[in-house]
Amino acid sequence: MPRILTKTVRNLAQEARVLAPAPLECYELAHPAVPNAVDGFRILHIADLHTRRPWGPDSTVGRLVNALPRFPVDLVVLTGDYADQPGQEPAAIRTLKAIASAWRSRLGAVGVFGNHDPARLKALLPKAMPQIRWLHPAGAVRLPGVPLRVLGASYPEDVSRAVIAEREMPPEDDTLRILLTHMPTEIFPAETYAIPLHFAGHTHGGQLRLSPKLAPHTSSDLPSSLASGLLRHHGSLCAISRGLGEGFLQHLRLNCPPQAPIYTLRRGPALGRDAPLHCALPW
């Protein structure tokens, strides 16, 4: 990547952290498949809450709820692990309702479930929060008024089912396809099905990072250097959130703060090399 472009991207990330209060972080996400009509489209990504108990105003969720009304977006995407284990369904629903009441999303929200979400939560949430379009176990939706389709597959992910659901929709030209899954390893089928943009979580960014590229545990088959940030696999990009909660060692993060990214889509060259899997931009 050219040195000037690298510097610009890093400056954008640093400025975003100053302008947006934690845990919000803002990034520009460029890809040549982004239609002109969607250039500037803003997406809020909620992942890995792992809600165990009620939270207070000074918690990560409390700060998020306070910040969200000041940062309107076009779409919210949710990629799973709202609870940590069975018995925590009421707390997870209350937490998601509080976050949903705070976000300002022009086109609503689309979500999938993760590996920690109990079966009972998967049954309750679509009824408790019907304003979120749940793609469970897999599916596809066309957003009204914009050339954008959202495909999604809940854990255990079967991206082929989402692609089949999309193929049943009327064909359209110049439409951007994005994929929601819990696990970032689904970037491989995303690339196989030529899906340009993919949003995932699950890794918590490693949660405990000894260095930008080294984390002892990521809950993922990907190496720790690929545990967060913007991955590129040939023509597909995967944005991995560090998540808002903790998967283990509750309330403990090291060099890996919680994160609710806001991505601004741009039409332009994708970061990184058109090559096998690598991290195009760490965060």
The pLDDT score that the predictor gives to residue 2 is 38
Single out the residue of 107, 118, 182, 113 nearest to residue 147, CA to CA: 107
Q: Please, is 121 exposed, middle or buried when counting C-beta atoms within 10 Å of its C-beta (0-12, 13-18, 19+)?
A: buried
Single out the residue of 120, 126, 100 nearest to residue 260, CA to CA: 100
Residues with Cβ within 8 Å of residue 236, at least 6 apart in sequence: 187, 190, 191, 194, 195, 196, 197, 198
The pLDDT score that the predictor gives to residue 252 is 81
Fold observed for domain 42-263: Purple Acid Phosphatase; chain A, domain 2 (3.60.21)
Single out the residue of 46, 55, 115, 124 nearest to residue 85, CA to CA: 115
Per 3-state DSSP, what percentage of the chain is helix, strand, and coil (rounded to 5)? 30, 25, 45
The pLDDT score that the predictor gives to residue 187 is 98
Separation of first and last alpha carbons in the chain: 17
The pLDDT score that the predictor gives to residue 15 is 45
Other C-beta atoms closer than 10 Å to the C-beta of 150 total 27
Low-confidence spans in the chain with pLDDT less than 50? 1-18
The pLDDT score that the predictor gives to residue 53 is 87
